[in-house]
Structures are given as structure tokens and as C-alpha cells.
Structure 1
Amino acid sequence: MLNTFRVLALGALFASAPLAAHDYRIETFSQGLEHPWSMAFLPDGRLLVTERVGRLRIVEADGRLDPEPVAGVPEGFIAAQAGLMEVALDPDYSDNRWLYLTHAQGSLEANNTRLIRARLVDGELQDLEVLFTAQPLKAGAAHYGGRIAFLADKTLVLTLGDGFDWREQAQNPANHLGKIVRLNRDGSVPQDNPLLGQQGAAPEIYSLGHRNVQGIFFDAEQGRLYSHEHGPRGGDELNLIEPGGNYGWPLATFGVDYTGARVSPYTELPGLVAPLLHWTPSVAPSSLMLYRGELFPDWQGDLFASTLAERSVRRIRLRDGMLAGEEVLFEELGERIRDVRSGPDGALYLLTDNPQGRVLRVLPSE
């Protein structure tokens, strides 16, 4: 698929004018959340929201926050970037009631990303199963990835981080640091994974050479898997993920280290997959989705990336398989945006990453 996705020059990407503020309105849908991280819409109209501090919350269809967190969420490691992260529904949720969560597991000296699944029954998680724990366990509290997407065959891809201090391990196929892994929904390894059977390679790996992937979305209509990842100072990337692809970190990057030192003299190298685009200086992309709702016809088929440092949502325009421009949206909020989703009503929903976090709903102007 890489050779069918054409990329415009970066100058053309910024040629389009931003969307006028009067084309949409933003309202508070729910509030009272502590550093919300991810959300998922239940078939009955309720909304599940994770809080990084370790709670799973239920927001009623009218926006009321249930005062009692969901019971049965396992205790995880909570510090700095570590905590409870993604919530996602099984593709067959209406039949099997499985939901998936990611969280940091372990201690400050030995921790990594864990994937679990459970069923939500009367405000409690039941039948909980640990499906996967990234290896090796490492020290510190940074770079966990933690986002989930489901592919056309209903296998699951999970994003992981490089642990910050172990960036060279992103190129080591023997472990999970700086990788995207692919699993069956019961945690087993699909038999067509790209590195399965290769000596010294972790069988779960789907792609490697990543820094901290916090956005992933599978476009079922086009059969494309998009992701984005945090760079250091600059070099945030949007990528089109191919099985077995090596996305370069830290051998090739547009970013520099936080000290100002150069991470690599190369922005591209043979055998490494170049990003579709990069953001330099960093915007700190935190989630990714593709809009196919009905409320905003002009946004149909476009990618949306929430950002933390820029305090915005980037609309990445796609036209006939080409990047066609970017627009910076919702800067007027002045808030770190942790998650952006398309709701069943066609509205955009945003999570603000604050101690008093909110769920915001974006609707057309009346």
C-alpha cells in the first residue's frame, strides 16, 4: 500500500486556510474527570472514559457522570505518564461484551504496558483476563504507547513506547520496546505475523522503530492502518503502517534531543519507512481517528490528531489517497487534548487532559 499513497510537498500541506471558528461550536458534554485518557461509546449511548489515575468511569447518554467508578479495575502503576490508558470495545461487543484496557503495570524500578480484557456487568468488571505484558520490564515512568485498533480480520494491534531511556531497543526485534504488536483477541499470536518464526524476534511484533506511539486508527474502508508517534524536540510523525515495517527511530528522525544534541544525522535511510509527514517543532500528538460522520460533510475521510503541546486538534486532509493539507482546530480552548473520537451522533468528542478534565462535544454551528 505504501506505493499507492502519494505525499504532497510540505509547503502544499499548509496552503489551505483554517476552518472558520463559526463553522462549529464546542459545548461541555461532561465534566468532573481527573486526567481522562481515552473514551469508548457503548451501544446503549453511554460513554466509557478512563482516568490516568486508575479509574474507569461511565458517562450517561445525557452527559451525567456516574459518581461511582467502575469496580474491578486492576491496580496498576501510576506515576508521571504511567497509569490507566486505553479503553476499547471488541468488534463483536454486542455479542461477547468484551472490552479492552491498557495500563502500566509494575513498580518504578520494573514496569511496562499491559493489555487486559473484561466484561462490564452492572458497573463492575468481571471475567478479567491478562492478555499481554510488554517485555522487558524497565525503570522509569515514561513512553508506554497504549493505544488499540482492530484490523479487518478482527485481530488487535497495540502501540508501545521505547521507555524513553531505552530508545536503541526500538531497533531490537527481540523485545517489545518501541514496537506495534499484533495479537488475536485472546492474547495469542496470529500465525501470519510478519516476524513469526524469525530467530531472535518477538513473535508479537507487527512493526518496529517507533518512539512513543499514542495514536492508531484502522481505516476499514481503505484498508489502511495509520499511526502517529511523539518525537523528542521535533520529529513527531504520522505513519502508514505496513506489516514488518521499520519506522526508523532512533536511526532516522527529524527531531533533536531535549538537550539540543542531535539524535541522528539522518532523516531517512534505505530500508526504513519514511513518515507521511512530520511535525517540527513538536505538537505532541496524543490520539488519532478518521472521521466518517454525517454532521461535518467537509471533514469526511479526514484524519484528526489531538495534541498536547500545541493544545489543538490537527485536521489532516486526505483526498484520493493524497495528503491534501492540514488545519489547526480548537486552539481557542487553550487546553491539552488527550483524545478525539467521532461519536455515534456524528459529533466530535474531545477529552481535556487536566486535573478537572472534561468531555467536550463539537457540533455544527446553528
Structure 2
Amino acid sequence: MLTIAHHCPPGLTSLLTLLLALTTGTAPLAAQPATDSAANTAVQSPTWVWVESENAVARQMQQDMLLASAPASARLKIAADFCTAAVLINDRPVCVVGPYAATVSLDVTQSLGSGRNQIAVRLLKSAGPSAVALSLTAADVNGPQQLLSSSNWTVPAGSVLEDYGTVRAGLWGIGAASLELSGADNYEQWRLATGDARPASLDAKLRIRPGFRVTRIRDARPDEGSWVSMTFDADGRLIIAREDKGLLRFGMGERGFAAGSAEVINQELLECRGLLFAHGALYANANNSKAIYRLQDLDADGSLERVEKLREYSGGVGHGRNDLVLGPDGWIWAIHGDSVDAPAAGTSRDITSPLRDSRRGPVRQEGYVVRISPDGSQSEVVCTGLRNPFGIDFNAAGDAFTYDADNEFDMGTPWYRPTRIWQLSAGLDFGWRVAQGQWPPYFPDRADNSVWQLDTGKGSPTSVMFGSKLNFAPAWRDCLYVLDWAYGRVLAVHTAPRGSVYRMAGELFLQGVPLNVTDIAAGPDGAMYLITGGRKTQSALYRVTMEQPDVTPARDSLHEQQCTQYALRQQEQRRAAEQWLRSESSVQDAEERLRWIERTLAESDPQLQAMARTVLEQMPVEHWGGRLLQVSDDRVFVEGALSLVRAGSQEQVTQLLRRMSTLVSGQSEALSAPVWLRQASVRLQLIQEMGIRFPELIREGDGAAGFVRDWLLSDLQRCAAAALVFGAGEQTTTLRYRLVAAAAEVGLPLTGAGTPESELLRSLLQSPQQQDQLTALLGLRKQLARADSSLIALYFGVLNEGTRWLGGDGMAVFLGRLREDA
């Protein structure tokens, strides 16, 4: 079976080639987005290449790898920009990477043998500067062998293989330390900074990337508390917030910020998790005071005598009121976790979709980003659907990012979502809702969500910062630095523009035991400053410098130059989307809006598509519902279907399903796999939305209800067949899980003898992965009366084995509920 990785546009495809791949015995190969550094075996970066050909079908490149023996290990790494790439080893498909997919790294040991091995890459162009990069590292009896994409690969007659320059080392993990956690990494390392457990010398426990130096500048004194946030004022003085209450200020002496005692400048504000000096004032997001404050020195005597409450935010304080940053618009941007209530209606503008579940039904807790004017008189909810994001920062292009926390309670389950880096584009929903312990569980990843930029696994995110103000070499100034409080880590995330979004690759930059980092800032001297603290631990101030920074910018490859130019165009599109989101829809501008929406939904850029759907959903359905049903571009229709099923009438939705049932692909190419998976994901969400809005149409019956139920069953089977065929891979795995959840939610049968959905259930129950097995138990729990004896036996056998599963605190709870339901 194939590994599929994608963030791709909708389209029409068939399964013929992939079915053939199954019959030839293609082995299942699990791929993960490459958050590691390709195991650090690569000593060189590959070249970005592209096959130019008048015949799109003939876009193929191949090369041989000679091995003296069957490899003991082999790893393939591939990145595809603005194209779909299918990799075949010895004529057997092993990987398909769609447009906007993360870099993929997978084990291909079983696909290679002794002697000559043929590596072929088939390519399908999308809008944008298309290029692909690949490395294959295999260890035979003679040691490691490496094959890199280059202009030396063979292409068909009439084609030309273009060389677009070497992949940047940071994006390929050259010389980088892996993000992957090992058994030696301690989630409880922060406890070493409590009481008498704190070691006498922390410096000996610090590891930093070669070429950088870290120095502990100052320890918090007993009366200075535990530190949670910091900023520098206009005079270069350091302001630090204590965890319990109050603010401290440190002046720069001859020995830096270690000189003298701290000056207490506020004793009332409670746990200021966000500090920002802007517009001649100090802004504080005081979590336990539940408000954003502005502090000013009106008489220039050095004291901040005026303290104004600008905006109040009710709710809890755990996943609370976090970081502040000055936006490129001059407004104050704040990021809040899911314990904080959304602003009350009428107190703040909300530019997210009015059709989101939290706005059209009962309010569900979710983290969000809000921006306020400098005086606090105006406010806007920018985006939502986050769990517990602590930090927020903008890059040089004006794009905001955060590092969101995982849901530890659900660890080990198929609905667990790891720590992630998100690009915070306006109007978007990132899918998280407070649903811990909900039964049936809530799956946060949906077809209409924004696209995550990088998964980093388990962790406890705190602050983030781009290195643009640091006195580092250019490659390091472009990085996003993110803090992991639990594991005592600072991660450096390399970024490269790709349309309106970014390709990202992370590496371990700094780690300490203990190093429970809470905030990061660029000092007036161009150094990186870090503080530790939280949970009443001993705090310290650290300074990070680059030993010999080379300020000469590296020369961009031709591909990077092309990507930068294309990104400028796509960023203009995103700015246009932001303007539409912030302006009221009217009859007069409806036609112009709809033309822009149709053009954007037809693009392959997933972030722009999501923003276009939000603009569409802000418009009255009377302006666009009928038009969508008649639109000629099937890509626009499929993406718009997600909106119409939430807003349209019963008649319109029935028409939508009838047209959806006519979408049949004439293609038979493996390259179409990511596109088909996108369409399958949309279809599954249609099933779930139907269960919410029109449950009466799902019940068995005649007429419209009978047609709708028949369509849903047919589509469920189509999606199940795709999930079986497409094999392993992150997007396929998500599809399988959502398929079972969707069927269970709306009461569609999963146990029909010989049907694709029952075969999918059986394969999940027999999988060695506990997440697969738990998914099957979830879907079957209410349908055992319909199941045959072999499926029932499998169900209870797996349920009994579940006591051995590893997971978060919720695992025992979920297994108990499954036993109750059965």
C-alpha cells in the first residue's frame, strides 16, 4: 500500500492504479512529517529539480542505486513544492506527496535489495513554481550510500530536467539535532528547579547548538518570585512579571542585567503572562486579574502611576490569558487559551465564520486570538479553535504564528492532537474545542480547518519569537524559536515561503535540565534572552549569543527566489481576503466577492481556500447558494459544498448531494491519490453536517430521505474503499478515523457482510496500532447486534487487550465507557 501525504485541492480521481498497486503486493509503509533531521545521516542537501515537458504524463525522472547487499536500513526523504510526486522503487509505489504537504521521511528498507535498484519519481504540476527534492540513504555491507536528486537523473526523450539550486541546509536537517524525544528526556525536569532539588550549577546541564553560547546571567532572589514573562522597554530595561503578582524592572549595568536589586514597579496585577512595551506604554495581559492593562508614566519620573484596564476577559485561568505582541497594524494582539471566555456579543467584532458550531449553537470553549486598538476602544476576534497557545509573534512578512499545546488527557487515542505550530491567518478555525472526556469523543481535525505547519510531538509550549532582531547570521534570524517548558527545550524552526503558507523544519537548539523556559525576547544588544519559572520554581535569566555571526546573507537558490516571488502574489491574495473579512457584505459588492471566492476556491493553496470559505459564509446564503449549485468548476463546487451544507435549505442540500454523486473521475493515475483523499475528507464532513442539520433525512424512508440515506451509504462505502486502498500515511489514517466516527455519529451501518466499511473495521481491529483498534471499538460499540460472530469476537478480544495500552489519563475512562456501551 501507498503512503500518502498531502494538503491538496479538491478534484476528481479514480482508484484503478492504486488498486493495481495493491495486487502487486506493495508493502504498507508508514510515513510521518519529518520533524527529525532525516536521522542526521545526510551530509549533503539534495537539489531542487523539475521535469519540463510538453507532455504532462511524461513528467518522470529516475536514477539507480547500487547496493552490495540488501540494506540494513534505508530512509527516503522527499519534499514537493507546488506539485504531486509519486515515488516508485523497483516499479512499486511507496510514497505519494501532494501539493503543500510537509516534508516526508519514511523507512524504505524493505523496498530495496542487493544490486541495482531503480528509483523513479512521477510528477504532476500545480499552480506555482513546481520543484521536488529527494534524498535516499541506505546502509549496505560497505556502509552508508546516498542518492540525491540532481540534474544527473534520467528523464524521457523530449523532456528537460531543470536544476533550481540546492535545498537550504536548515530545511533538510543538515547538522541538526533531532526534535524527537528519547527515553532520557524527562517530562518532569522542571521539578529539579523546586526547593532544595535545584542543582548548584545549571550551566553544566545545558546543551546548545555548536556556534552559539549560553550564559546564566542572574538567578531570581528569594523575594523576586518565579518569573513567567518579560519585555524590554524603550530605554533597554528588562521588565519581568512574577507568577503570583507584580512586575520587576532591571537596569543594564556594567555586568549586564545581573547588577543590583530588582525595582518593583507594580504590586497589584496578578500573573501577567504577556508583557509588551509599545506606543510609549507597558501593556500587560494579567491572567489572574482577567484583563489587559495599559501602564503609563505620565510625568516621566520612572514610575508607572497610571494603570488602565483596557479589556476584561472572563473565564478560567488554567489555559488562560497569555502572550501579547505588537502587530504590523499597530494594534495589540493577544492570544488566549480555551479556559478564557470569548468576548461577549457586541463587545468585539468576530471575523470568523458565523456558521462555526460555537457561533451557531451552544458556545464551546476554544482558544483564540484577539487584537485591540492601542487605547482598547476597538477589538476584533481574529481566529479561533486553539487549545492552549502561549506565545504569538510575527515574521518579517507580517504573518503571525503560535505553538499550541497537545491534549495530554487523550494521549494514545486516535483523536489525540500533538503540539503544533500554526500560522494564524485571519478568520480561520483551527478545530479545537474543549471536549475532554466527551463521549463519543470529538475529533479536532476536520476538512474545513486551517492547515497546521509543523507537528513537534509531545511537549508543553510556552512563548515563541522570530529571530529578526537578533545579532545572529541571516539563516538564524529567519527562524521561529519556540519554547517547550516541560522538556526544557528551545526549538529552532526554519521556514521557507510556499504560497500563502510556509514549509517548516525544526531542530533542537538548546536544552537544559532543568530549563523550564517561560519567555523569550531579543535584547537591545541583539542577544537572545530567556527566563525560566512557573509553578513556583526557581527562576533564572539566560543570554544566548552567536560566537561569530556571519552577517552576509546566503544566496538564495533559484527555486527559493521563485517561491519568494510567488509568495508575494499569494500574500496579496491573503490581504485581499482580510479586507473582505473585515468589510460588511452587501448586495452591491456581492458579485465582486463571489468572483474572488470562486477564483480562490479553485486554487491549490489550502490556507487561501479556507479564508475564501470564511468570506463565503459571512454572506447571506441567498446571494450564493443557487450559484454554487450551478458553478461549472468542480473544484469550486466541492470546496463550497462544506459551506452550503451548513447554510442551505433542505432542498439545496439535497440538490448538492445529487450533484456530488455524479462526480466521477476518468483518471487512473497514482498521482491523483492526494486529490481524491481531499474529496473523500470533504464528503465525510458532509455526512457529519447532515447528521447535525437534517437528522430526519438520514433515517430510513422513501423520497428525499431515502435518497439522502442511500447517498450517504454509497459515499461512506466509497470513502471506506479509498481508506483500504491508500494504505498508511497521516492523511489516510485521519480519513479512516473520521470515517468510522462519522458513520457512528449519524447511525449509518458499518457491519454489512463483505462491504468496504466492514472490511475497514476488520482491518482496524486486526491492526497492531492501538489507535486503529480504538477507532474500530468506537464505531462498533452501538452496532454489535448487526455484526457477525467473528467481528463480535474480534471486538471483545481487542477490548480485553486494551488494558495494556499506553496513553494519557483518559485512556482508562474511554475503555470503561466502551465496556458500558457494549
| TM surpasses 0.5 | yes
Alignment match, 1:187: 376
Residues 44 and 216 of structure 1: CA distance in aligned 2, closer, same or farther (over 3 Å): same
Alignment match, 2:431: 248
Residues 155 and 30 of structure 1: CA distance in aligned 2, closer, same or farther (over 3 Å): same
Instruction: Determine the C-alpha separation between the residues in 2 that align with 1:154 and 1:41.
Output: 18
Deviations 1:267-296 (A, max 9, x none): x3122113112222x221101111122333
Match of 2:524 among 340, 344, 353: 344
Residues 316 and 85 of structure 1: CA distance in aligned 2, closer, same or farther (over 3 Å): same
Q: Is residue 2:466 matched to residue 1:290?
A: yes
Secondary structure of the corresponding residue to residue 222 of structure 1: coil
Structure 1 contact 171–249 (Cα < 8 Å) conserved = no
Instruction: Determine the C-alpha separation between the residues in 2 that align with 1:146 and 1:216.
Output: 9
Alignment match, 1:205: 381
Residues 363 and 9 of structure 1: CA distance in aligned 2, closer, same or farther (over 3 Å): same
Q: Is residue 2:358 matched to residue 1:172?
A: yes
C-alpha displacement at 1:362, in angstroms?
0.7
Q: Is residue 2:245 matched to residue 1:48?
A: no
Instruction: Determine the C-alpha separation between the residues in 2 that align with 1:21 and 1:146.
Output: 29
Higher share of residues assigned helix: 2
C-alpha displacement at 1:9, in angstroms?
2.3
Secondary structure of the corresponding residue to residue 74 of structure 1: strand
Structure 1 vs Structure 2: percent identity of aligned residues?
20
Q: Quick check: 170-179 or 330-339, which moved more?
A: 170-179
Instruction: Determine the C-alpha separation between the residues in 2 that align with 1:69 and 1:10.
Output: 50
Structure 1 contact 99–118 (Cα < 8 Å) conserved = yes
C-alpha displacement at 1:245, in angstroms?
0.8
Q: Quick check: 63-72 or 34-43, which moved more?
A: 63-72
Structure 2 contact 490–508 (Cα < 8 Å) conserved = yes
C-alpha displacement at 1:68, in angstroms?
4.9
Q: Is residue 2:322 matched to residue 1:146?
A: yes
Q: Quick check: 181-190 or 320-329, which moved more?
A: 320-329
Q: Is residue 2:225 matched to residue 1:30?
A: no
Instruction: Determine the C-alpha separation between the residues in 1 that align with 2:476 and 2:237.
Output: 25
Secondary structure of the corresponding residue to residue 475 of structure 2: helix
Instruction: Determine the C-alpha separation between the residues in 2 that align with 1:295 and 1:342.
Output: 11
Secondary structure of the corresponding residue to residue 210 of structure 2: helix
Deviations 1:292-327 (A, max 9, x none): 223333302110001112211010001344334211
The one-letter code of the counterpart of 2:464 is L
C-alpha displacement at 1:43, in angstroms?
2.7
Alignment match, 1:18: 176
The one-letter code of the counterpart of 1:264 is Y
Structure 1 contact 216–289 (Cα < 8 Å) conserved = yes
Alignment match, 2:402: 227
Normalised by the length of structure 1, the TM-score is 0.77
Instruction: Determine the C-alpha separation between the residues in 2 that align with 1:290 and 1:10.
Output: 25
Instruction: Determine the C-alpha separation between the residues in 2 that align with 1:8 and 1:270.
Output: 17
Structure 2 contact 285–321 (Cα < 8 Å) conserved = no
The one-letter code of the counterpart of 2:530 is L
The one-letter code of the counterpart of 1:207 is C
Q: Is residue 2:332 matched to residue 1:156?
A: yes
The one-letter code of the counterpart of 2:307 is L
Alignment match, 2:274: 86
C-alpha displacement at 1:84, in angstroms?
2.4
Instruction: Determine the C-alpha separation between the residues in 2 that align with 1:261 and 1:328.
Output: 37
The one-letter code of the counterpart of 1:39 is M
Alignment match, 1:194: none
Residues 55 and 75 of structure 1: CA distance in aligned 2, closer, same or farther (over 3 Å): closer
C-alpha displacement at 1:176, in angstroms?
8.0
Alignment match, 1:201: none
Instruction: Determine the C-alpha separation between the residues in 1 that align with 2:234 and 2:225.
Output: 24
Alignment match, 2:103: 9
Q: Quick check: 56-65 or 297-306, which moved more?
A: 56-65
Match of 1:214 among 371, 385, 390: 390
The one-letter code of the counterpart of 2:390 is Q
The one-letter code of the counterpart of 1:35 is S
Rg bigger for which structure? 2
Residues 56 and 209 of structure 1: CA distance in aligned 2, closer, same or farther (over 3 Å): same
Task: Give ranges in structure 1 of 5+ residues lacking alignment.
Answer: 77-82, 107-112, 191-203
Instruction: Determine the C-alpha separation between the residues in 1 that align with 2:174 and 2:357.
Output: 37
Instruction: Determine the C-alpha separation between the residues in 1 that align with 2:443 and 2:335.
Output: 26
Alignment match, 1:200: none
Deviations 1:149-185 (A, max 9, x none): 222221121111111999xxx9634698522111111
Structure 2 contact 454–504 (Cα < 8 Å) conserved = no
C-alpha displacement at 1:15, in angstroms?
4.0
The one-letter code of the counterpart of 1:30 is R
The one-letter code of the counterpart of 2:264 is V
Deviations 1:22-54 (A, max 9, x none): 311111222215321111112322211111121
The one-letter code of the counterpart of 2:400 is L
Structure 1 contact 17–327 (Cα < 8 Å) conserved = no
Structure 1 contact 114–130 (Cα < 8 Å) conserved = yes
The one-letter code of the counterpart of 2:475 is D
Alignment match, 2:286: 103
